[in-house]
Amino acid sequence: MIDDSRSMAEEQAALTAAFPALVRALAEGDLDGDGRADFDPIASLRIGVVSSFMGVGGHEVPTCEYGDASFGDDGVLIAEHRGGRGECPATHPAFLEYTPPGGLSELQAAFTCQANLGTDGCGFEQQLEALLKAATPQSSDVRFFDNTRGHAGAGVNGAFFRDDAVLVGLVLSDEEDCSARDLDLFAPAGPYSGTTLNRRCDVHADDALWPTSRYAALAELKADPADFVYAALVGVPVEAERDSYDAILAHPDMDYEADPASMRLLPACDSGGGDAMPGRRYVEVAQALESEGAQTLVRSICRADFDGPVDELVRLIATRLDARCP
277 near 211, Cβ under 8 Å? Answer: no
- Give yes or no for a cis peptide into 211 (omega within 30° of 0): no
Question: Which SS3 state, helix, strand or coil, does residue 179 take?
Answer: coil
Question: Which SS3 state, helix, strand or coil, does residue 42 take?
Answer: coil
pLDDT for 162: 96
Q: What is the mean pLDDT of the chain?
A: 94
Model pTM? 0.96
pLDDT digits (tens, 9 = 90+) for 208-234: 999 999 999 999 999 999 999 999 999
pLDDT digits (tens, 9 = 90+) for 281-301: 999 999 999 999 999 999 999
100 near 40, Cβ under 8 Å? Answer: no
Contacts within 8 Å (CB) and 24+ apart, 78-86: 78/49, 78/50, 78/51, 78/114, 78/117, 81/113, 81/114, 82/4, 82/116, 82/117, 82/118, 82/120, 83/12, 83/113, 83/116, 83/117, 83/118, 84/118, 85/112, 85/113, 85/116
